[in-house]
Structure 1
Amino acid sequence: MFDEITPRFKPILIGLFVASAAFLAGWFLGGQTITYPTEPPVALSGATEGQPEQVDFSIFWQTWAVIDDKFVNGTSTDALTQEDLQNRVYGAAAGLVDSLGDPYTVFLPPADNEAFAEDIRGDFGGVGMELGARDGQLKVITTLPDTPAERAGVRAGDAITQIDGKPVGKMTVDEAVKLIRGEIGTIVTLTINRSGEGAKDFAITRGRIQVPTMETELLPSGVFVLKLYSFNALSPQLFKQGLRQFIEAKTDKLIIDLRGNPGGYLEASVDVASWFLPEGKVVVKERRVAGEADKLYRSRGYNVFNDKLKLVILIDGGSASASEIVAGALSEHGRAVLIGEETFGKGSVQELVPLPDGSAVKITIAKWLTPEDHSISENGLKPAVEVKMTAEDREAERDPQLAAAVDYLLKQK
């Protein structure tokens, strides 16, 4: 075959073959078996503390030694600092947690742990949206009212594919949040893939975010609407105040609007459900390891409303976690009718475990199930009356879901 090639091409082919041979020779030379130590370096403190006896850690320390022996940093030739070594440990811890394959279980180095604490306090810089992992994508659960994200046109259900040009890929929710946050007044560009519309860039100016909790309104029709934005530490007391306003309105028609409510504290959801259920009724089941009995969270029995109460709960794809607990409990006990769209399906329990150096592990410890054993994580909740909210509805500032809820209640006797 080579004889048919014109002479001027032969040197090129020969050169390619020589280069390939040299590359392979270099690889084989680099691939010689070298014995590396199977114990941690002497300079590392606490390296074997808490090490499980049945696990062979020699591969980990051999990998560490290979890095020490071989790795060349393309940007610096400086000697490794203590911070560099500690970052290796943090990276290994993150990889260990990532091996579980759970997007809600993450290792948080000290700086990330502090950012998470700011989130819990409810006053932070960002764009004002709640994120979640769904079907291998980073999805917007909801946008908070009057925030940069809402004003930019970001919607619940949007899939974020890039943050400032960086592909999301297998990024965890916490890693994405860290990139989206930044100094107030600066811009973050999100590439969003919206169903039916394709990809689009949203340039959003970061601002200070304060999470709202509740709004109430008595409609001209005589229907009282209680909009709950989150289940934070203030929710139980504010919800109680909202119910007092409902009673003073002298109507028997109530809408609890949980659309776009990403959840929050479990205890807050149990407290809210307790206003409508007799004492002892199951609000939610917490299931841990197989074979272990479920932990049941029961109504505290405030139950101030009789059977004459006509109650609708509005839900959508932004209703998650504690919202799904309340909606599931009240619908399955026959106290409320669900109207809207299928919920997000975030039914797992995370515990934040602090570590001595300021880092932490946020780890899934259980799954939530409704009183009738419905897995919230696997399926979400489906409304009894499905009503879609379209892009045209949003553009025209129409709310067909609220209208359907009002219509349903007015027809009840």
Structure 2
Amino acid sequence: MCLLTVAPCLFAQEDEDVSPYREMKTLARAVELIRQDYVDEDKTGYEELIYSAMRGMLEELDPHSDFMDPKDFKGMQEDTKSEFGGLGVVVGMKNERLTIVSPMEGTPGFRAGLLPGDVLLEIDGRSTEKMTLRDAVDKLRGEPGTAVKLAIGRSDAPKPINFNIEREVIKVPSVRGAKILDDVAGPKIGYVRISQFSEPTVKEFAKALSQLEKQGMEALILDLRFNPGGLLGSAVEVAGEFLPGGALVAYTEGRSPSAGRRYLAPGKGRKPRNYPLAVLVNGSSASGAEIVAGALKDSGRALLVGETTFGKGSVQSVVSLPDGSAVRLTTAKYFTPGKQPIHEKGVSPHVRAPMTGEDEARLLAERRREDLPAGSEKEEIGGVDDVPLQRAADALRGVLLHAREGTGGPSSEG
């Protein structure tokens, strides 16, 4: 989440032993030393040196904080208003390397075969070794119809893998795969996956649930694996489908009181859907997916199955400066209703059910196959051993069977 604000630059009150003016004097002395003695005079302009110092300060804080000169800041503002092309992949920093968190289903990056955990080594021939997260995202974006060349490092590949992918405007359905799982003799367990949280997600999701309910669905598996997040409001609304109106979904805290916010399930007094629920998560479930999973876990509303999530839960504020430049600064972190931090921690499942890298690749290949137009030649894919899905289905069957037998098993509220 990113907030845009305009604020004056003021020094906060400091301990008497720590004077910002004394430290600024040291910085000013270093700047003058560079201007006086550095060998290439054309690199010693005040603006260039000060901007570089600010970039360095912010990049040292975390991958999401950065400095934007007037040109970059203007470009960022235009990006938020205009339509641009991209690959449909979410990129993050992992072990100080630019890494693909997840490719979104139905997008160019997904169709090309990019995988979660792929390391970006080069973008259009330029090494990413010293590239910031913001720079990488900017380079992946571009005019729809233009192509970007990537060199990817993959754990099971002995050498880099090259891709040439055409950018598109990313507009894809976010709710997919709604169905009743095949179980002739057993209870009717529904399955839905959400690939990202966009503006129409909650309407698509509610429609899918209503259709499954008409088919007699008795319990639901919500698949948030490989979901990189998206719009916070959409994620809160999805969680609200299973929580009472007004229930806490997540909250933020920062050093400033103004950074604290509470996000509540919409529709106070509204009756939520109350059938048994299991949520699938993995290391590529990030941001909004983690907020949904954390809310449903802490409320006791769902059983989480899979692996610990990615751990991306911070808020960035953009503050404009007098010369037209701006600072993007991490000002708050997200917490689950149970006061658990999401950022760099992730949300842990009740039932740990990891998948092998090979099975994850097969699962994504199967999803790519589903996206091919009717009549296309579809590559045969070996069976996917989807252990998390099996474990979730088994758990829900147990809940439903206990309820039918009246043995006092878990209620439909958990």
Superposed pair shares fold, TM > 0.5: yes
Q: 1:145, 1:121 → 2: CA distance?
A: 24
Amino acid at match of 1:144: M
Q: 1:354, 1:255 → 2: CA distance?
A: 44
Q: 1:88, 1:293 → 2: CA distance?
A: 31
Is it true that 1:380 corresponds to 2:343 in the alignment? no
Q: Which residue of 55, 58, 75 maps to 1:94?
A: 55
Is it true that 1:138 corresponds to 2:98 in the alignment? yes
Shift of 1:285: 2.8
Q: Which residue of 161, 170, 173 maps to 2:133?
A: 173
Partner of 2:89: 129
> Which whole-Å deviations, capped at 9, do the CAs of 1:298-331 have from their partners, x for residues lacking one?
3334653454x02121212221111111101101
Asked whether the 8 Å contact 1:190–1:203 carries over to 2, the reply is yes
Partner of 2:253: 287
SS at match of 1:317: coil
Amino acid at match of 2:298: E
Q: 2:273, 2:208 → 1: CA distance?
A: 18
TM-score under structure 2 length normalisation: 0.73
Asked whether the 8 Å contact 2:181–2:191 carries over to 1, the reply is no
Is it true that 1:185 corresponds to 2:151 in the alignment? no
Between 1:391-400 and 1:313-322, the stretch displaced more is 391-400
Q: Which residue of 395, 399, 403 maps to 1:412?
A: 399
Q: 1:311, 1:355 → 2: CA distance?
A: 48
Q: Describe how 1:4-403 pairs up with structure 2 within 5 A.
A: 50=9, 52=11, 54-56=20-22, 57-73=24-40, 86-99=47-60, 101-113=61-73, 116=76, 123-182=83-142, 184-192=145-153, 194-216=154-176, 217-219=178-180, 221=182, 222-289=188-255, 295-300=261-266, 301=268, 304-305=271-272, 307=274, 309-355=275-321, 359-393=325-359, 394-395=361-362, 396=381, 398=384, 400=386, 401-403=388-390
Q: 1:190, 1:117 → 2: CA distance?
A: 29
Q: 1:149, 1:390 → 2: CA distance?
A: 22
SS at match of 1:145: coil
Partner of 1:4: none
User: Which has the higher Rg, Structure 1 or Structure 2?
Assistant: 1
SS at match of 1:345: coil
Shift of 1:402: 3.5
Structure 1 pair 60–315 and aligned structure 2 pair: CA distance change class (3 A): same
SS at match of 1:377: coil
Q: 1:227, 1:384 → 2: CA distance?
A: 19
Asked whether the 8 Å contact 1:137–1:159 carries over to 2, the reply is yes
> Which whole-Å deviations, capped at 9, do the CAs of 1:141-175 have from their partners, x for residues lacking one?
10022333223322112233443454433532112
Between 1:278-287 and 1:335-344, the stretch displaced more is 278-287
Structure 1 pair 242–306 and aligned structure 2 pair: CA distance change class (3 A): closer
Asked whether the 8 Å contact 1:122–1:211 carries over to 2, the reply is no
Q: How many residues align?
A: 356
> Structure 2, unaligned stretches of length 5 or more?
1-7, 12-18, 183-187, 363-380, 401-414
Asked whether the 8 Å contact 1:212–1:230 carries over to 2, the reply is no
Q: 2:393, 2:47 → 1: CA distance?
A: 58
> Which whole-Å deviations, capped at 9, do the CAs of 1:122-143 have from their partners, x for residues lacking one?
9532322101122322221100
Instruction: Give the percent of matched residue pairs that are identical in Structure 1 and Structure 2.
Output: 33
Structure 1 pair 302–371 and aligned structure 2 pair: CA distance change class (3 A): same
Asked whether the 8 Å contact 2:223–2:279 carries over to 1, the reply is yes
Q: 1:271, 1:80 → 2: CA distance?
A: 51
Shift of 1:259: 1.7
Q: 2:130, 2:199 → 1: CA distance?
A: 32
Q: 1:123, 1:389 → 2: CA distance?
A: 37
Q: 1:255, 1:120 → 2: CA distance?
A: 34
Asked whether the 8 Å contact 2:251–2:263 carries over to 1, the reply is yes
Question: How large is the Cα RMSD of the aligned pairs?
Answer: 3.4
